[in-house]
Amino acid sequence: MFCHVTPQQVMGVHNVSSTYHVPLLMKDQGLIDFLAKKLDLASVKITKELKQSGDNLSMRWKALTSGYVKSKMEHGAWLTK
């Protein structure tokens, strides 16, 4: 288009069942990799413990969002007119 940004800089954040899903959606669309490259995060040294902590947080976030969806489905919150 005419906005002087590359396609990698355009994100599509469609309707999701919860705002908790937005970070996962952005990750799926490559935002983490894009920012890591732009900010040269590969040059930042992190400890094994910090890496494990980040991986654990990511896993807990995914569990939180899937638990939210499951809870909504069990209570019929998806049934809208």
Q: Would you state the torsion angle of the CA atoms of residues 39, 45, 46, 51, taken in this order, to the nearest 10 degrees?
A: 70
Indicate whether this model's pTM tops 0.85. Answer: no
Q: 1-17, pLDDT tens digit by residue?
A: 567 888 878 888 778 77
Predicted confidence at residue 19, as pLDDT, reads 83
Predicted confidence at residue 81, as pLDDT, reads 41
Contacts 24+ apart (CB under 8 A), 13-18: 17/68, 17/69, 17/72, 17/78, 18/65, 18/68, 18/69, 18/72
Q: 12-65, pLDDT tens digit by residue?
A: 877 877 788 888 888 888 988 999 999 999 999 999 999 999 999 999 988 888
Closest among 51, 31, 15 to 23, alpha carbons compared:
31
